[in-house]
Amino acid sequence: MLLKSNLMNKKKILLGITGGIALYKVLELCSRLVKKDYDLRIIMTENAKEFVSPLTFETMGRTKVYSEMFHKGHHDLVEHIELVKDIDAFIIAPATANFIGKAANGIADDLLSSAFLAYNGSVLFAPGMNDNMLSHPATQKNIEQLKEWGHEFIEAQIGRLACNTVGKGRMAEPEDIVPVLEKKMTVKDLRHKKIIVTAGPTVERIDPVRYLTNDSSGKMGYAIAEQAWKRGADVLLISGPTSLKSHWPTEYIHSTNELMRKIDEYFDDADALIMAAAPSDYRPKVRYDQKIKKKDQDLILELEENPDILMYFAGKKSHQKLIGFAAETENLMENARIKKEKKSLDYIIANDITQKGAGFNVDTNICTIIGDDVEKLDLMSKKDLADRILDLL
């Protein structure tokens, strides 16, 4: 009974697979979706089965694969109707020129194209084909028709194609498809909100080869930006140097002064500033144009204070909500409350970075949200914490 209940609560995704060489990437897509605990339904075209057997996708997707419009056995369920019922998302990957053409012209000559016509929602297409086929006027006209009807496309990438030429036609990578798919399934409760999120460290140059920075990975800020983007916000991420990938509008900076200037460009029109970045409090008083040479004596490096970004924008705000972070190693609540009051923040997210699972470079956090009230949160993923923070808006 519990298993059935959990299955009913899972998001349901219908994956349509057509016959293109990019189909091999869809195996990874299946794996990623299963690991995220989505309930997959899969339809393969007859051409797709020429590339990979249905058994492989049944194993990877942990589900039955449907392909035949007419088959032996009972037809008590009309499959092209039943498979699109109660689904949360429908994606075609790879979407070949042939299938895009059929979809745009109402041709329903197999199970997948019939299911497409029976579905009354927006379908996500991930095209994959030769660049000449993609750029052909017929394909472009068909894509525009589908977009006009409200369907969405994940743009094909430029790279080496199966025909051994380089061009635009590579199906997007699974790691890029999953966030777009998740965005489609997320309630857009932050639509029309303009949110600035900052993330990562700042870098203060000493000379051309050395700098001061900190251990911030940017994971918390990127998680907030991603969830805001999925929830329909007009989000701008301003990021220091990280190894993370962004699927939403992002500006990149290095120094604390650059971060403040970049926020200032967008602050007046914003509804909220969520300051998850870890800007350096100090910078070298002198920045050397040439590499400092090692000498047989100590080097004294004089530092000067950087501007306090949140203090600056607290003095500028009119309608904006300001949310800051307090990453502390001692006296957590006392230090966080002082910071909140001093910087006129609406909320401060306090975390003791000495706790296991709450420091830098991890995917979890343990926090206390301090606003008018205090809410202590247990260990959770940074994605879940991001949603709790965005709920404050």
Q: What is the pLDDT of residues 135-152, one digit of tens each?
A: 999 999 999 999 999 999
- Taking the C-alpha atoms of residue 311 and residue 275, their distance in angstroms, rounded to an integer, is 12
* pLDDT > 90: percent of the chain: 83
Over residues 179-205, the pLDDT tens digits come to 999 999 999 999 999 999 999 999 999
- Band of residue 256 on the pLDDT scale cut at 50, 70, 90: very high
Residue 194, CA distances (Å) to 227, 250, 321 in order: 13, 14, 11
Report pLDDT for 74. Answer: 58
For residue range 14-49, list pLDDT tens digits in order.
999 999 999 999 999 999 999 999 999 999 999 999
Which is the catalytic residue, given 7, 138, 163, 311? 163
- In sequence order, what DSSP letters do the residues of 228-249 get, joined into one string? HHHTT-EEEEEE-S-S---SS-
Q: How far is CA 114 from the centre of its chain?
A: 31
What are 110's two structure tokens?
């197999």
Q: What distance in Å separates the CA atoms of residue 319 and residue 259, rounded to the nearest whole number?
A: 21
- pLDDT of residue 76 exceeding 80: no
Instruction: For the chain, report the end-to-end CA distance as a whole number of angstroms.
Output: 37
Query: Would the pLDDT of 332 be above 90?
Result: no
Q: What tokens were used for 106? A: 């109402």
What's the length of the chain? 393
pLDDT tens digits, residue range 103-121? 999 999 999 999 999 999 9
Side chain identity at 252, as an amino acid letter? Y
Structure confidence at residue 7 (pLDDT)? 47
Is 30 an active-site residue? no
**Rounded to an integer, what distance in angstroms lies between the CA atom of residue 149 and that of residue 78?**
25
The chain-wide mean pLDDT, for the chain, equals 92
d(CA 94, CA 107): 18
The CA-CA-CA angle for residues 313, 362, 353, to 5°, reads 60
Q: pLDDT value at position 115?
A: 96
Say if residue 1's pLDDT is above 50. no
Whole-structure pTM value? 0.88
What CA–CA distance (Å, rounded) separates 385 from 225?
12
Backbone angles phi, psi at 199, to 5 degrees: -150, 155
Least-confidence region, from 66-75, 294-303, 367-376 = 66-75
